[in-house]
């Protein structure tokens, strides 16, 4: 069933996949599973294990090959999540909930089918200008760090963990971004995305209208992606910020500036929410000159609007070694 001699795990299907790719059609299907157990401790000391998974179905159409549109493509990603999470079932006190993230990152945002990405991308001037519009997760383009850890607190865009207005995959919203590649290694980009909390509902995975929209999230980012040394050791450095113009509740104060939990009055109404983030990752070693293998170090920081968020900031430091064996 699996092919070790092909670029694809299941082989070339008798040449069909190469033929489709040459014509501009790149179909993709993937499956990811994550399991976790509470070997000891947690709110519920009953030992058990929990399993979650995610299916991804989609791909890209090269519109230059199909329709003759230069440097244009259409992207589609449909996701499905299912399973249960050890964090909710065993680790967390149900009376208080948790501020922390799930132990299994592909749990959450509804165990359901969703249109995660449905976007048109157009490039101009030899990729200097890059425009993307459609149904998109913000974290697919901004604060985009990938996901190599199972724990959600170490996975993907850190901003989406506590900002309350920033939705990472698998939740997509209508929006777009404009990116300018000043050099092959230095870029700047700006985006605007629909803020619609109803998109989090499990039964709205294929919702295409904007009913329930409360505002817009604006994001800006600058970045540097160097390749250092003769081996070309990869690095990624970026800093960005966001502003959301929807009305928000103060998590602590009422309209008179008093603690709302004491006064019993309604929360103060805020005229928006904001935050920033910074990320740095650099490969520092190779294996026999092979830049695909080696040690990388990273750090990640996110600052939230503490008036509207239960977290003030988050920070990460870590290391990743690729190609250990």
> Does a structural domain hold residue 263?
yes
pLDDT at residue 125 in the model: 94
Q: Which two tokens stand for residue 303?
A: 């600052």
> Which H helix or E strand runs over 19?
helix 16-23
Look at the chain and report how many structural domains it folds into: 1
**Segment 47-58, tens digit of pLDDT:** 889 999 999 999
CA 53/CA 85 separation, integer angstroms: 10
Q: What does the chain come to in residues?
A: 325
What are φ and ψ of residue 234, in 5° steps?
-75, 140
The candidate with the shortest Cα–Cα distance to 304, out of 138, 155, 97, 164, is: 164
pLDDT at residue 226 in the model: 95
CB 249 within 8 A of CB 269: yes
**Segment 180-223, tens digit of pLDDT:** 999 999 999 999 999 999 999 888 999 999 999 999 999 999 99
CB 194 within 8 A of CB 167: no
Work out the average pLDDT over 272-299: 93
> Does a structural domain hold residue 232?
yes
Q: Is the dihedral of CA 181, 185, 189, 194 positive or negative?
A: positive
The candidate with the shortest Cα–Cα distance to 219, out of 268, 267, 160, 162, is: 160
Q: Using alpha carbons, list the distances in angstroms from residue 244 to 83, 214, 226, 270, 271.
A: 32, 10, 31, 11, 9
pLDDT at residue 1 in the model: 61
> Does a structural domain hold residue 315?
yes
DSSP collapsed to 3 states, 166-185: CCCCCCCEEEEEEEEECCCC
> Does a structural domain hold residue 17?
no
**Segment 71-90, tens digit of pLDDT:** 999 999 999 999 988 888 88
The candidate with the shortest Cα–Cα distance to 285, out of 325, 229, 237, is: 229
The candidate with the shortest Cα–Cα distance to 278, out of 140, 142, 100, is: 142
Phi-psi region of 24 (alpha: psi -120 to 50; beta: other; left: phi over 0): left
> Which H helix or E strand runs over 63?
helix 63-66
CA 291/CA 312 separation, integer angstroms: 37
pLDDT at residue 13 in the model: 83
The enclosing domain of 184 has a CATH number of 2.40.160.180
pLDDT at residue 317 in the model: 94
pLDDT at residue 126 in the model: 93
> Does a structural domain hold residue 147?
no
Give me the domain span that covers residue 192: 167-325
> For the chain, what is the mean pLDDT?
90
Quote the percentage of the chain above a pLDDT of 70: 98
Work out the average pLDDT over 114-138: 95
Q: What is the DSSP letter of 235?
A: E
More confident residue, 229 or 281: 281
pLDDT at residue 110 in the model: 77
CA 252 from chain centre, in angstroms, equals 29
pLDDT at residue 163 in the model: 79
């Amino acid at each position: 069933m699996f092919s070790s001699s092909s670029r694809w795990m299941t082989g070339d299907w008798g040449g069909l996949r190469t033929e489709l790719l040459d014509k501009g059609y790149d179909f993709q299907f993937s499956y990811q599973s994550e399991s976790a157990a509470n070997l000891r401790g947690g709110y519920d000391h009953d030992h058990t294990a929990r399993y979650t998974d995610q299916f991804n179905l989609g791909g890209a159409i090269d519109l230059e090959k199909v329709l003759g549109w230069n440097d244009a493509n259409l992207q589609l990603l449909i996701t499905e999540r299912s399973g249960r999470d050890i964090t909710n079932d065993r680790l967390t006190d149900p009376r208080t909930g948790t501020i922390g993230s799930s132990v299994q990152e592909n749990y959450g945002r509804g165990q359901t089918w969703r249109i995660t990405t449905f976007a048109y991308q157009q490039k101009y001037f030899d990729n200097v200008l890059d425009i993307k519009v459609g149904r998109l997760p913000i974290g697919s383009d901004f604060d985009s760090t990938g996901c190599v850890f199972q724990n959600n607190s170490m996975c993907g865009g850190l901003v989406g963990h506590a900002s309350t207005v920033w939705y990472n995959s698998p939740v997509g919203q209508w929006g777009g971004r404009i990116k300018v590649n000043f050099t092959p290694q230095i870029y700047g980009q700006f985006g605007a995305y629909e803020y619609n909390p109803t998109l989090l509902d499990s039964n709205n995975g294929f919702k295409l209208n904007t009913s329930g929209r409360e505002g817009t999230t604006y994001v800006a980012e600058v970045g540097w992606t160097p390749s250092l040394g003769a081996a070309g050791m990869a690095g990624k450095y970026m800093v960005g910020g966001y502003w959301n113009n929807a009305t928000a509740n103060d998590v602590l104060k009422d309209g008179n500036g008093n603690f709302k939990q004491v006064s019993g009055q309604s929360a103060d109404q805020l005229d928006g929410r904001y935050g920033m983030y910074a990320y740095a990752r650099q490969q520092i070693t190779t294996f026999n000159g092979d830049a695909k293998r080696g040690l990388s170090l990273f750090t990640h920081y996110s600052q939230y609007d503490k008036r509207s968020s239960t977290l003030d900031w988050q920070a990460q430091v870590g290391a990743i070694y690729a190609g250990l064996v």
